Every structure is written in C-alpha cells, then in structure tokens.
Amino acid sequence: MATAIDQLRVDLLSQVAAAASSAALEEVRVSALGRKGAITEQMKTLGQLPPDERRAAGQAFNALKDEVAAALEARKAGLESAELEARLAQERIDVTLPARPQPDGRLHPLMQTWDELVAIFGEMGFVIAEGPDIEDDWHNFTALNIPEEHPARQEMDTFYLQEHDGHRPVLRTHTSPVQIRTMLTQKPPIRIIVPGRTFRSDHDATHSPMFHQVEGLVIDESTHMGHLKGTLIEFCRAFFGIDDLPVRFRNSHFPFTEPSAEVDIGCSRKGGGLTIGAGDDWLEILGSGMVHPKVLEYCGIDSTKYQGWAFGMGIERIAMLKYGIPDLRTMYDSDLRWLRHYGFMPLDVPSMLGGLAR
C-alpha cells in the first residue's frame, strides 16, 4: 500500500507543478481531490485491508490529501499573480496618446429648440401628445370653431388632398387639431404639449410651406387665465434665459379661444438690430387664450364643469429669435457650413438644471 501511495503522491505533485493556467490547475484539483478523484477512489479500497494496516494507510492518505491541497493552493497563488501581471501588461493604456476627435455631426437648431421646449414644459408637468400630419376638415377647422368663411380654410392658404369618403383631407395648418383629438380620447385633467409639423401655402424669409409648431392645452375644473399667464411668462423667461424679460398679453382673436391673447416679449430694434429683453419695443411670439366653450362641447366635455386654456407658437420663429438666424429658408438648405455654425453637439441635451444652450 505504501508504495502505491508514494506513486500517487509523485504523480499528483508533478501534475500540480505542470499545470500552466488556473483552469488547468482546477482540472488537476478535481481529478485528485474530487468525488471521483484519484485519492478518493484509492481510499475506497481501504475497507479491503486488515484493520492494523487500514489505520496506517488511512493516515497516510489523509496526509497525502493535505499535502496535495497545500501544493494546489501554492501553485494557484503563483499562477494568479502571473496571470494578473500578464493582463496588466496587455491592458496598459497610453495616456500620452492624443484625444480621439469629436464626432462631426450636429443637431439642427430647430431640433435643439424642440428639445428645449420639451425640457421646459416637461419640468412644469406637461406631457407630449401627437396627431397625424394629414387631418380632416372637422379636426383641423370645424371642431376648433373655425367658420366656413375663415381665411385659414381658403384653397390658397391650405394644402388640400383629394376628396375621399365625403371628407376633404388637409395637411394640418396648425397643431391645434391635437387639442381636439386629446379631448376626445382623454378625460380631464389634461396638460399636454404638442410639438409637430404643420403646413401652409407660404414661402418667404419668415415662412416655409412646411414648418413646426408647439401647441399647449390645459383642462381641469379650476384652472384659469392666471395660470395661463403665469405659465407663459415663466416659459418665455426660461426659454430666452432672461429672468426679468418683459412679457405682455395683448387682446386678440382666435375662433377657438375666448378671450384670446397674443403674447409679446420686450425687445429693442435700435440701430437696425434686434435685442431681446432690452429696450421699449415689443415682439409677438405666440397666441393663446381660454378654450372656447363650443370647442369643449364639440369634444363632449361639459363646459359648465370644466374650463381650460391653450397656446400655440412657431418653433422656427422662436429658434430664429434665440439663435439669431435671419432667414428661415436656410434651415432647410442642408448646407453643412450653416449647420456647423448654427448646430449643437448631439449629446449636449438641454435641461432646466443643466442649461438650455451653450
């Protein structure tokens, strides 16, 4: 028995010494000490020995087990530190290398402005709503209390599509039809903004046939014109980044609001330029008002119980004002030089806390 144990000892210790990696060493451990390993298998034969020999052999096996376990442990520590050394050498980074170039793409100022609007109104608790670009006459005009003879409905202003099923589809002329779609499908309280594409038959330095608007709508049992004013004053000041920006509400008319107000911000036009926030002049930036009871009734909302307010503004217009872009048509020219000048870094996401512009 003693020679068999000696033989096993020499065998196992040389296997431990020969293992070239932690994984190979683990295989040696299992084949030596595992449940089906060499030592375990040999110990099973102890029962066949006479009692006096059995005792001595048992002790010898236990000693061998300890010795192999210690050899495994020592070899493991050696291999692991060698492997760590090798990894450290391989994964070394050269901190003296030049930085990787910044990505060359830019975010269009229109999309930057869109993100800023969403960030500001999002902080105020508004959620985004959407609707289709191709609308029907009823959502775009009728349900918004826009009468048949209103100029907005005329062929020369609106892109009509071919009549179909007795309806005349239109490319929506404003984002206001999403007010109707939301009130028809959601119960108050409602607090939405609607950024989106809009279309009119217009083309000059400040108008494009496809442009963008953002609509806002709040409906509940107690909201009032004070909330409209407070929200829009706060929005104008946050968007232009001027804490004391003068904001004025001027009496106006929209078929879907009563009363209606246009919102102007303070500016100066001295010397031919335009400076926002300073001076004694005014610049119109958006339309607003209390939702007309007829509009609520068209949407099945009880106008004796609920009331609300709405607003709408052109995204190109406020982007041009904020970023000093003189001609709207350049926004759609896809001129890379223009985009490099007016564009934003894509990961520079605006937020109320982090700031809204570089």
Closest approach, Cβ 208 to ligand DAH, in A, equals 14
Per CB under 6 A, does 141 bind ligand DAH?
no
Tokens (6 digits) for 243: 């804490």
Q: Which of residues 56-115 bind ligand DAH (CB under 6 A)?
A: none
Minimum CB separation from ligand DAH for residue 357, in Å?
Answer: 25
Among 163, 166, 162, 171, residue whose Cα is nearest residue 139? 171
CB nearer to ligand DAH: pick between 174 and 322: 174
In contact, 121 and 234? CB cutoff 8 Å: no
Binding mask 211-250 for ligand DAH (x = CB under 6 A): ----x-----------------------------------
Residue 307 binds ligand DAH, judged by CB under 6 A = no
Is 195 or 312 the residue whose CB approaches ligand DAH more closely? 312
Q: Pick from 157, 5, 110, 79: which is nearest to 344 by CA?
A: 110
Binding to ligand DAH, residues 280-299 (CB under 6 A):
287-289
| CA atoms within 13 Å, Cβ hemisphere of 78 | 13
- Token pair listed for 27: 């295989």
Q: Give the footprint of ligand DAH on residues 158-177 (CB under 6 A).
A: 174, 176
> Is there binding between residue 199 and ligand DAH (CB under 6 A)?
no
- Which one, of 256, 188, 194, 258, lies nearest residue 223 by Cα? 188
- Among all residues, whose Cβ is closest to ligand DAH? 312
Q: Taking a C-beta distance cutoff of 8 angstroms, is the pair 39, 8 a contact?
A: yes
Contact 65, 37 (CB under 8 A): no
Q: How do strand 190-199 and strand 127-128 relate by DSSP bridges?
A: parallel
Among 276, 310, 315, 339, binds ligand DAH (CB under 6 A): 310
Q: What is the DSSP string of 324-355?
A: T---GGGGGS--HHHHHHH-B-TT---BTTTB
Is 188 one of the binding residues for ligand DAH (CB under 6 A)?
Answer: no
Closest to ligand DAH by CB, 43 vs 152, is 152
Which CB atom, from 64 or from 117, has the smaller least distance to ligand DAH? 117
The neighbouring-strand residues paired with 211 are 198
What is the number of alpha carbons within 13 Å of residue 120 lying toward its C-beta?
22
The CB-of-308 to ligand DAH minimum distance in angstroms stands at 10
Comparison of 169 and 289: residue with beta carbon closer to ligand DAH? 289
User: From CA 80, how far away is CA 19, in angstroms rounded?
Assistant: 12
Nearer to ligand DAH among residue 67 and residue 297 (C-beta): 297
CB of 228 to ligand DAH, least distance (A): 9
The conformation of residue 130, written as its DSSP 8-state character, comes to -
Nearer of residues 113 and 257 to ligand DAH, judged by Cβ: 257
Distance CA 111, CA 324 (A): 16
Residues 245-264 that bind ligand DAH (CB under 6 A): 254, 257
| Smallest gap from residue 310 Cβ to ligand DAH (A) | 3
311 lines the binding site for ligand DAH (CB under 6 A): yes
CB of 341 to ligand DAH, least distance (A): 29
> Phi-psi region for residue 174, left (φ > 0), alpha (ψ -120 to 50) or beta?
beta
Minimal distance in Å, beta carbon 335 to ligand DAH? Answer: 28
Q: Is the peptide bond before 259 cis (omega within 30 degrees of 0)?
A: yes
Residue whose structure tokens are 């009823």: 138
Q: Using CB under 6 A as the criterion, which residues of the chain lie in contact with ligand DAH when the complex forms? A: 174, 176, 215, 254, 257, 287-289, 310-312
